[in-house]
Amino acid sequence: MYESLLNFPGGLFADFDRVRRDLDALLSQGDAPRGIRAVAGNSFPSLNVGQTPQSVDVFAFAPGIDPDKTEVTLDRGLLTVAGERASGRPDDADDTANVYGQERFSGRFRRTISLPEDIDPDKVDARYRDGVLHISIGRRESLQPKRIAIA
């Protein structure tokens, strides 16, 4: 009975999905997140956060940033990654250059995430390689803030 809906010409469910996306775009408030734990779709850098019994690992996917101009801080259980990514466009002073589309994020960014209470700010390591900033925070009960240098 329901198989006819799945095999509907043009894809009935694809049409429902398109209508939902159109309504979301129409009713959304700019780039506001659509859920309580979601972030705006254009948040930069994208983050993956995971944990093991020994550490909490944060992977920030940030190609094109300068690690020397990127700041990683840990203060009272909040990890903040902030910096700036250059636009890569020709100089604005050049009147002959026209930009017809720009999908790559550029400009200042700041991402802050809350970490578990048992992290140890004395056991933090940050490394940037191949466009990925990997921050590993050891676990232990301590709430002292610490600035992390990127290796």
Same domain, 47 and 72: yes
* pLDDT computed for residue 14 by the predictor: 73
Q: How far is CA 2 from the centre of its chain?
A: 39
Residue segments in the chain with a per-residue pLDDT below the cut of 70: 1-13, 25-42, 88-97, 99, 102, 141-146
Does 97 reside within a domain?
Answer: no
Q: How far is 56 from 16, CA to CA, in rounded Å?
A: 39
* pLDDT computed for residue 18 by the predictor: 78
* pLDDT computed for residue 42 by the predictor: 58
Q: Indicate if the alpha-carbon torsion angle 83, 88, 89, 91 is positive or negative.
A: positive
Does 145 reside within a domain?
Answer: yes
Q: How far is 18 from 20, CA to CA, in rounded Å?
A: 5
* pLDDT computed for residue 64 by the predictor: 85
CA dihedral angle for residue 25, residue 81, residue 104, residue 37, rounded to 10 degrees: -20
Does the bond joining 45 to the residue before it have cis omega, within 30 degrees of 0? yes
Show the tokens assigned to 78.
């909040």
* pLDDT computed for residue 129 by the predictor: 95
Residue 5: domain span: 1-37
Q: Sheet holding 71-75: strands in order across?
A: 107-114, 78-85, 71-75, 146-148
CATH at 136: 2.60.40.790
